[in-house]
Amino acid sequence: MARTLAMFTDVSLCIGCRACQVACKQWNQLAPEEPEWTGSYQNHAHFTDKTYRLVRFFEETDATGQMKQWHMMSDVCKHCAQAGCLEACPTGAIYRTEYGTVNINQDICNGCRYCVSACPFGVVAFNHDTGTATKCTFCNDRIHNGLGPACAKACPTESIRFGFRDELAGKAKQRVEELKKLGYKDAQLYGEDTNGALGGLNAFFLLLGKPSIYGLPDKPKLPQRNVIADSLLSIGSALLVGLGALVAFRSRDDKGGA
Amino acid sequence: MGPGLLKSADWPLLIDLYFFLGGLAGGAFVIATIANLLDARRYRDVVRMGYYIAFLAIIPGPILLIVDLGVPTRFLHMMMVSKPSLEIGMSALTVGPFHLKLLSPMSAGAWALLGFSVCAFLVALDVFLEDRGGRSMSVLRLVAGVIGGFFGFFLAAYPGVLLGATARPLFISAHWLGALFLVVGASSGGAAIALILSLLGSRARESLSQLMRFTAFALILQLAALALFIITVQMSGSTGIAQALAKLLAGPYSLAFWLGAVVVGIVVPLALQLGGGIKKAAPGMTALASALILIGGFLVKYVIIAAGQAT
């Protein structure tokens, strides 16, 4: 495997311009969609089959309901080291590249939609036109030709950075220290730790507060971790059912019957 | 905020129907196999009907699944692709063009459906030939019956495990869905055999009463699994779990859950059977109880899937 590539999104630098979202649409030739009015600057409300990059807007309020801080964050597929979509996919359409990214082979996907519900971040979307599941590829065609992903190239503030994972992780840690010195005491990295949740995210973030402010799960869990325990409980109940049938059909019914 | 982020596969009613029929087929098959092993002559009616029902109930299965796919012509990709990718998951086994992913219940389920269908066909054919006056190939019936029985259990349980391996809050925090779906398969398989035997006016009154004794036991397990499912979800305390559970227990799906799945599907048939139904095994009473069990067996799967998928 080649050296792992990663994307580092520094929320403290994001100005919410959505250049990344537009660049993504243009490079990947994703059709326009009707805007959704949700009472926020954010459009769309969720990732869709035509929106792989999404700038999210969050209004953090204090206990009295007064606006405390306006957060904006450019969200993307995390290309998890332990990916729920990849483990769920029954066709093998979802695969890991030599750079550690997670892609969906559009020629293999048969549209079962299991990955859509297995993603802990709601990234994978179903495309009704092609009948397949789609998501961000880190611009697979670009990164295999030495160009960074379109979103990182377009970002005017370098809020989105792309490169080798180990190098980016070092820069990210430095940046957290800088921000803490400047008084952002809740600044923290999300998904940088390869020993952390999901084995680390290959698109990791610098957040200015708790992950839940940004709508992210505090401790994302690989759904497939349930399979063994759930299967054992099923086997236990199968034994009970089998035993019940043996007892029921062993017994002679003396009171009724023939 | 967290759960608002998540997406749903939005599996439609077709899939609920498949989960119900697959469980019913698996349950009926297992009952027929156990009855066949214990006393093939005495339980001849149960064995015949169980194997016929298992075969007929599984026929729509693959059709329902294929119709639901985004690209139905690629249904074979569930098991094989001509050029597999190298890294398709930590639990993947590949042999030539074939693949099986042990941690993907949908992948394992596709293979189990194939295995079960082969066994169900062979055994149903054997029963059919015997009915037409031929001799039963008892070794084939024994081997295919036992192997198919394991597949049958798998087929009944795996949809629950499959749901548990999604990120939906109601499913990911529940560990009892596989067990629940398995016992629902057992109760609906038993009820389907009992319903048809009682409607045909079977003379085998004794085997009918034993069948009802078994379904009563399965219903008690079903009630226990349902309670354990709700308690486990409640106690998990994960984000968004209160809202997800409220949809099922107090929200838009609560009527179908409490009245349909619990009262009509479990409490009433159990009361009918315990209140003298078992002893006398009156065909009318048995038929009514069995029909209610079948309705409840479908509703309990439908309502949990619908509530878990609703955003």
Q: Does A157 touch chain B (CB under 8 A)?
A: no
Q: pLDDT class for A257, splitting at 50, 70, 90?
A: very low
Distance between B131 CA and the closest CA of chain A, angstroms: 23
Q: So what's the pLDDT on residue A256? A: 41
Find, among A131, A95, A93, the residue nearest to B81 by Cα: A93
Q: Are strands A54-61 and A67-75 parallel, antiparallel or unpaired?
A: antiparallel
CA pair distance A160, A154, nearest whole angstrom: 9
pLDDT of chain B along its 311 residues, tens only?
A: 344 689 999 999 999 999 999 999 999 999 999 999 999 989 999 999 999 999 999 999 999 999 999 999 999 999 999 888 889 999 999 999 999 999 999 999 999 999 999 999 999 999 999 999 888 788 999 999 999 999 999 999 999 999 999 999 999 999 999 999 999 999 999 999 999 999 887 666 778 888 999 999 999 999 999 999 999 999 988 777 888 899 999 989 999 999 999 999 999 999 998 876 555 567 788 899 999 999 999 999 999 999 999 86
Q: Are residues B172 and A119, on separate chains, in Cβ contact within 8 Å? A: no
Residue A251 exposure: Cα atoms within 13 Å on the Cβ side: 19
Fold entry, domain A5-221? Alpha-Beta Plaits (3.30.70)
Q: Helices marked H in B40-83 — which ranges?
A: 44-58, 60-68
Which residues in B130-149 are b (16+ Cβ under 10 Å) and which e? beeeeebbeeebbebbebbb
Q: Do A92 and B84 touch (CB under 8 A)?
A: yes
Does residue B115 contact residue B151 with C-beta atoms inside 8 Å?
yes
pLDDT at A254: 47
- Report how far residue B93's alpha carbon sits from residue B90's, in angstroms, rounded to the nearest whole number: 9
Question: At A209, is the pLDDT very low, low, confident or very high (cuts 50, 70, 90)?
Answer: very high
* Residue A247 neighbours by CB distance under 10 Å: 13
Contact A241 B30 (CB under 8 A): yes
Question: CA of A44: which chain B residue's CA is closest?
Answer: B5
3-state secondary structure of B99: strand
Chain B residues with beta carbon closer than 8 angstroms to that of A87: 89-91, 101, 103-104
| Average pLDDT in chain A | 94
CA–CA separation, A141 and A135 (whole Å) = 14
| Reported pTM | 0.94
d(CA B136, CA A155): 74
Task: Flag the least confident range among A201-205, A225-229, B236-240, B246-250.
Answer: B236-240
Chain A residues near residue B77 by CB distance under 8 angstroms:
91-93, 108-110
Using the beta-carbon criterion (under 8 Å), do A110 and B179 form an inter-chain contact?
no
Query: How far, in Å, CA of B73 to CA of A132, rounded?
Result: 12
Q: What is the pLDDT of residue B276?
A: 63
* ipTM, 2 dp: 0.95
User: What is the mean predicted confidence (pLDDT) over A110-119?
Assistant: 97
Tell me, yes or no, if A77 comes closer than 8 A to chain B by beta carbon: no
Q: What is the pLDDT of residue B204?
A: 66
Residue B71: closest C-alpha in chain A: A110
Q: What is the pLDDT of residues A18-34, one digit of tens each?
A: 999 999 999 999 999 99
Q: Does B101 sit within 8 Å of A212, measured CB to CB? A: no
Domain that holds residue B137: 2-309
Beta strands in chain A (DSSP E): 5-10, 54-61, 67-75, 94-96, 102-104, 125-127, 132-134, 160-164, 188-190, 203-207
Can you state the angle between helices B44-58 and B13-39, rounded to 10 degrees? Answer: 160
Instruction: Let me know: does B165 contact A223? Beta carbons within 8 Å.
Output: yes
With beta carbons less than 8 A apart as the criterion, state whether A222 and A198 touch.
Answer: yes
Q: What pLDDT was estimated at residue A258?
A: 36
Residue B8 parent element (H or E): none
Residue B92 phi/psi, 5-degree rounding, is -80, 135
Chain A nearest CA to B122, separation (Å) = 22
CATH of the domain at B234: 1.20.1630.10
Do residues B100 and B107 touch, judged by C-beta distance below 8 A? yes
pLDDT at B230: 96
Look at residue B279 in the predicted model and tell me its pLDDT: 55
> Is A59's Cβ below 8 Å from some Cβ in B?
no
Give 3-state DSSP helix, strand, coil % of chain A, rounded to 5: 30, 20, 50
Where do runs of H (alpha helix) occur along chain B? 13-39, 44-58, 60-68, 105-131, 138-164, 169-172, 177-199, 205-236, 241-249, 254-255, 268-272, 278-280, 283-309
- The amino acid at A157: T
Percent of chain A clearing pLDDT 70 (strictly above): 97
Per-residue pLDDT reduced to its tens digit, A64-75: 988 888 999 999
A237 closest CB neighbour out of B31, B183, B279:
B183
Query: Quick one: DSSP state of residue B82?
Result: S
pLDDT of residue B49: 96
Report the residue of chain A nearest B153, measured CA to CA.
A238
Domain boundaries, chain A: 5-221
Q: Which of A48, A49, A69, A50 is nearest to A59 (CA)?
A: A69
DSSP string, B247-266: HHHTSTTHHIIIIIIIIIII
Query: DSSP per residue over A184-214, as a string?
Result: -TT-EEES--TTSGGG-BSEEEEESS-GGGG
> For residue A109, which residues of chain B lie inside 8 Å, CB to CB?
70-71, 74, 77
CB contact under 8 A, A234 and B178: yes
The minimum CA-CA distance between A23 and chain B, rounded to whole Å, is: 23
Determine contact, residues B18/B64, Cβ cutoff 8 Å: yes
Place of tokens 């023939």: A258
Closest CA to B240 of A79, A76, A120, A126: A120
Q: Do B70 and A112 touch (CB under 8 A)?
A: yes
Structure tokens at A184: 């952002």
The pLDDT, as a whole number, for residue B26 is 98
Amino acid at B23: G
Q: Do residue A257 and residue B39 have CB atoms under 8 angstroms apart?
A: no
How many structural domains comprise chain B? 1
